Amino acid sequence: MKVLLILGFLLLSVTVQAKVYSRCEFARTLKSHGMDGYRGISLANWVCLAQHESGFNTGATNYNPGSRSTDYGIFQINSKYWCNDGKTPGAVNACGIPCSALLKNDITQAITCAKRIATSSQGLRAWVAWKAYCQNRNLSQYVRNCGV
């Protein structure tokens, strides 16, 4: 019982650790990781995508009943193709990481995986929210006053 309680608190402390980035902090972090212009994609596209996918919350998870997969983290990266959560049928893990790595406050691994997705044939079209809210839009507001 005691062990379970301690385990419970450990899990709780992991889950409540999630960080919500501000728009500009996120933009600056992306820039420091070489995302501005990566594969011809501007920072504003990534900021728009993350705002509509997760609200810049590193702890965001969303289950997709149809594919029995889950979207993880600030970029809402899917466990069917990109990461391993040990419970998604037919998963591929193309980024070669546990999905939990996508929930860290430090988004370095999430960025590396997002780049990998951007390099795939789908590109940003892999993200439903990008297609719905960002594709072919004027995105200048997303990086406004960020100094990037």
Ligand X SMILES: *[C@@H]1O[C@H](CO)[C@@H](O)[C@H](O)[C@H]1NC(C)=O
SS3 59: coil
Structure-block tokens of residue 7: 């385990």
Closer CB to ligand X, residue 62 or residue 141?
141
Binders in 85-144 for ligand X, by CB under 6 A:
138, 140-141
State in angstroms the smallest separation of the CB of 41 from ligand X.
17
Active site residue 25: no
Q: Which of 110, 109, 69 is nearest to 92 (CA)?
A: 69
* Closest residue to ligand X using C-beta atoms: 138
Cβ-based nearer residue to ligand X, 42 or 57: 42
How far is residue 97's CA from residue 22's CA, in Å, rounded to a whole number?
Answer: 26
Residues that bind ligand X (CB under 6 A): 138, 140-141
Q: Which residues are catalytic?
A: 53, 71
